[in-house]
Amino acid sequence: MDPYAGFEPSVGEIAAVRTFRIGRGGTLCPLFSDEAWEDGANEARCRNVPPGAVALHPAPDPGCTCGFYAYGSEAAVEYRHERHVLAVVSFWGRVIAGTRGLRAQHGRVEALWLSETVPPELAARVARRYPSVALYRDRAAMLAEHPPTPLDCYEPMPAARRPWSGRWWSAAALSLAVASTLPADWLGGVAVAQWTDGVAFFLLMIAAVALGWRRPDDPAVPRRRLFLFAVALWTVAPFGGTLGVLFLRLPLLEVAVLTVVQWARVVRAARRFPADVD
Ligand SMILES: [Zn+2]
């Protein structure tokens, strides 16, 4: 089953969580769209159509990516915005659910939690714009009073995040990459450097394979595994001589720079209140 497809729940409204950006006027906007949600009922429309054409199907459609997205639990939310803005939304109409969350046709924001980072004037503007939404400054209180609907198709998400273990893995892998980039003389000659690179490669490959062993349901596993494979390729590149460095290290460096830039932009956008959307 897919994260957001495969299961069509029966009748009734389903509560799920999601995050929003807050626009200057106190509007709630999806992270990747400037179309503000209304107070009360909202209807999703398929946007996967050429400009000017009419949507081919009502949203959501199993074969498309359209519909309002939401998560089964707060642990499942993928975006850093949820550290500042989290909403409980009721969904109805066409609903397609998966292992992580759902896509739906109709949605109404029931409750909204804003972190201390959101300026009080902005929170007041949100309250004026969405009079029917229950506003919270206490996240746990909101989730206790507006619990998300449990669906059978959701897979359990790891409740407690362990950011340090992730950083430890990354730091260890990065030091191996740095060691592999140092001039061979510094390590005591070409033979020693090659031996170190070989050992680093095998350690990284073993770590990448063993990564999800204890927590196979951790959503961070595929991303970290990809990172370990990338560093392993980096350490093994010198064995290919100049060509190896050119065709392995250069593209890896490019991907690394793009990833860091993208990550920095997302972090910056998540902390900006109000968001620059309307
Ligand atoms: Zn569609």
The full set of domain ranges for the chain reads 14-157, 163-269
> Is 82 buried (19+), middle (13-18) or exposed (0-12) by CB count in 10 A?
buried
Q: Running DSSP on this structure, what letter comes out for residue 249?
A: I
Measured in angstroms, how far is the CA atom of residue 3 from the centroid of ligand 1? 17
- Mean pLDDT of the region 60-82: 89
Measured in angstroms, how far is the CA atom of residue 43 from the centroid of ligand 1? 13
When the pLDDT of each residue in the chain is averaged and rounded to a whole number, the result is 87
How high is the pLDDT of residue 109? 97
How high is the pLDDT of residue 233? 93
- Give how far Cα 115 sits from Cα of 32, 81, 130, 270, Å: 21, 10, 17, 12
Measured in angstroms, how far is the CA atom of residue 6 from the centroid of ligand 1? 15
- Mean pLDDT of the region 117-146: 95
How high is the pLDDT of residue 127? 96
| Position with higher pLDDT, 90 vs 273 | 90
| Position with higher pLDDT, 68 vs 4 | 68
pLDDT > 70? residue 79: yes
Residues composing the chain: 278
Measured in angstroms, how far is the CA atom of residue 13 from the centroid of ligand 1? 21
- Mean pLDDT of the region 140-169: 81
Contacts 24+ apart (CB under 8 A), 167-173: 169/207, 169/211, 169/224, 169/228, 170/224, 170/227, 173/204, 173/207, 173/227, 173/228, 173/231
pLDDT > 80? residue 50: no
Measured in angstroms, how far is the CA atom of residue 1 from the centroid of ligand 1? 19
How high is the pLDDT of residue 165? 62
Which positions ≥6 away from 41 have C-beta within 8 Å?
106, 107, 108
How high is the pLDDT of residue 11? 64
Q: How confident is residue 10, by pLDDT bands cut at 50, 70 and 90? A: low
How high is the pLDDT of residue 273? 79
pLDDT > 80? residue 158: no
How high is the pLDDT of residue 225? 87
Measured in angstroms, how far is the CA atom of residue 75 from the centroid of ligand 1? 27
